Structure 1
Amino acid sequence: MEIRKVQLTGSSSYVITLPKEWITSHGIKKNDPLGIIVQPDGTLLITWKTKGKQIHRTKEFYVDDIDDATYLFRLLVSAYINGYSTVIIKSKERIKSFVRECAINFTQTAIGPEIIEETIKSITIKDLLNPAEMPFDKTIKRMYILARTMHEDAITALKKKNKSLAGDIEPRDRDVDRLHWLISRQFNILLKDMTLSERMNITQDEATYLFLMSRLIERIGDHGVKIAKNVPVLIDKKVNAEMIEMIASASNNSLKIFTSAIDAWGNKDIKGANENIESIKNLVSSCEEINNNALNVKGMSSISTGYIAESIRRTGEYSADISELLLNHLVKE
């Protein structure tokens, strides 16, 4: 850390000189404006970025040696999450058809990226979404609604023996994933650009908390899919009504914990968060009872019942984790 002394000019103006290397590297000249941001810990952040423009970063991928579409898709998602505004896919030869299809699939899945230029040997993808236009809290609320309805519909499918409804749940998980990717992207951009924190009216601590929260909701969505995938087995094996009712009751309890966690967050209710953490004990007991009863059933229905009970339990535990995150966050305020 470089130490510089504060000087007094006139009777009331305090002045500090700035490092010449920093000034020249950013092309700052006499009378140019600089931004000063007061940090939560009392320190000052001095920035040359005063116009609120997004930092543009470019990532290039050479795909000549890539023959796996899944691998390429993961690379594109990783670049998106890490905050690159432009991704260029390059090849020494003609772009392979699976590469183009992968790029199209990526732009149709993630929020913001679009293909803006394409040649025989390259594809340019640019993110057109201003991260400041999508508040963290609204994205979290949308994720919650999607994940909750996925679980509710999975249990409804079991009760009404509706395989079609069960099959409709997995595609909705992609919406939860893409919203989590968006929050991850915003979080990473915010870490590199403190002016975004100002524009979004959110501190780094709050952004970290909401990023971790979105990760837990994304996992809850995954467990909704796991439940839905095992529902057709129980329908085919004609599991008895008593078992279905036990599963439905446990799921309802799990979703109550999930909803209470989100309500506590919205109300900044630290006592409610603590009570929600304690409520997980009854859910664990209910899921253990389902597993014990499943041991009396032979074949795949026993295994699927166990998977469903596990996903219901994990949903409740992730919801309790959301409450624990909230409690830790509110204690710091």
Structure 2
Amino acid sequence: MEIRKVQITGGLSYIVSLPKQWIRDAKIQKNDPVGLVVQPDGSLLITPKIGGESAQRTRVFEVGAATDRTYLLRLLIGAYIAGFAIIRLDSKGRMPPFILQLVREFTQMAIGQEVIGETDTSITIKDLLNPAEMPFENTIRRMHLLARGMQQDAMVAIRGHDAALADDVVARDTEVDRLHWLVARQDNLIMSDATLARRMEIPVARAAYCFQVSRIIERIADHATRTAHNALLLIDRDIEAATLDRMDEASALALQIFSWSMEAFHTGEIEKANTTLERVRDLEEMTREIDTRVLRFEAVKAIPTGQVADSIRRIGEYSGDICESVINYTVGQTA
């Protein structure tokens, strides 16, 4: 940290000199304007970015016939989440057809990504989404509704032996993933450009908090997907009515805890978050009872039924994690 003394000029204005190396790196010339942004903690952000637009960062990947498809997809998702505005794939020879197909899949998976240029040896993908048009709160609300509906339908699929509904739940997990990637991307963009937080009207700390909750919801959706996979394993198996009823009761409680945790998140009610945490113990008792019942089943039914009970318990526990995040964040903001 460089320490600079505040001086007074003309008896009216307070001034402080700026580091010469920073001026050179930012290519600031005499009489160029800079932006001053007061941060929530009282510190002052000085930035050469005053036009309201973030820098258009570009990431380039060299690809070819030997490129691993899964690895490249992970790279594309990583570049998207990292906040690169432009992603370019370059090939020394003609672009392999499987890469063209992969790019199409990626642009369908990632929100705001579109191919803006394509030649025999190069593909350029650009982010066309204005981050301010997708507020964190709205995205997280959508994720909550999707994940909740997935678990509800997965349980219906178990009772109704409905393979089509279970498959639909599995397919919906992609929608939750792409929304989580969007939250992760926006959080990274804000971390690298504090002026974006001002344009989105969200403090940097709140953005990180939203990312944390988004990640938990994505895991809850994963367990709803796991429930759907186990529903498929139980399609031709009958489970006694009493056990099914208990599983439905446990799932309903888990989803109620989930909804309560999200209410606490949106309102910042510490007391509600704390009360909701207490209900997780009730859910754990219910799932233990289901596990005891499952011990009487033959293995082909016991294993998937036990995994469903475990996923129900994990949904409740992850919801408890949201409540803990609410308490930690809210206490920190009100200190």
Report the counterpart of residue 8 of structure 2 in structure 1. Answer: 8
Report the counterpart of residue 230 of structure 1 in structure 2. Answer: 230
Asked if residue 150 in structure 1 is aligned to residue 153 in structure 2, the reply is: no
Which digits, 9 at most, give the CA deviation of each residue in 1:55-96, with x for residues without a partner? 211111111374321111111000000011111111111111
Q: CA deviation at 1:301?
A: 0.9
Distance 2:48 2:55 in 1: 12
Contact 1:36 1:46 in 2 (8 A): yes
Report the counterpart of residue 135 of structure 1 in structure 2. Answer: 135
What is the correspondence of 1:24-103 to structure 2 with a 5 Å cutoff? Answer: 24-64=24-64, 66-103=66-103
Asked if residue 165 in structure 1 is aligned to residue 182 in structure 2, the reply is: no
Distance 1:191 1:264 in 2: 25
Distance 2:93 2:173 in 1: 36
Q: CA deviation at 1:233?
A: 2.6
Q: CA deviation at 1:29?
A: 2.7
Contact 1:154 1:166 in 2 (8 A): yes
Distance 1:114 1:320 in 2: 38
Distance 1:202 1:66 in 2: 44
Distance 1:292 1:120 in 2: 61
Asked if residue 118 in structure 1 is aligned to residue 118 in structure 2, the reply is: yes
Which digits, 9 at most, give the CA deviation of each residue in 1:73-125, with x for residues without a partner? 11100000001111111111111111111111000110011111111111111
Distance 1:228 1:89 in 2: 36
Unaligned runs of 5+ in 1: none
Unaligned runs of 5+ in 2: none
- TM-score when scaled to structure 2? 0.97
Q: CA deviation at 1:218?
A: 0.2
Report percent identity of matched pairs: 47
Amino acid at match of 2:110: A
Distance 2:126 2:185 in 1: 14
Q: CA deviation at 1:318?
A: 0.4
Amino acid at match of 2:212: L
Distance 2:19 2:2 in 1: 9
Contact 2:62 2:90 in 1 (8 A): yes
Distance 2:271 2:208 in 1: 22
- TM-score when scaled to structure 1? 0.97
Which digits, 9 at most, give the CA deviation of each residue in 1:207-255, with x for residues without a partner? 1111000000000001111001111332311111111111101100100
- Misfit runs of 4+, over 4 Å: none
Asked if residue 208 in structure 1 is aligned to residue 208 in structure 2, the reply is: yes
Distance 2:193 2:261 in 1: 30
Distance 1:233 1:136 in 2: 36
Cα RMSD, aligned residues only: 1.2
What is the correspondence of 1:172-211 to structure 2 with a 5 Å cutoff? Answer: 172-211=172-211
Question: What is the aligned residue count?
Answer: 333
Distance 2:219 2:31 in 1: 51
Q: Secondary structure at the match of 2:50?
A: coil
Asked if residue 261 in structure 1 is aligned to residue 266 in structure 2, the reply is: no
Contact 1:66 1:72 in 2 (8 A): no
Amino acid at match of 2:140: I
Report the counterpart of residue 219 of structure 1 in structure 2. Answer: 219
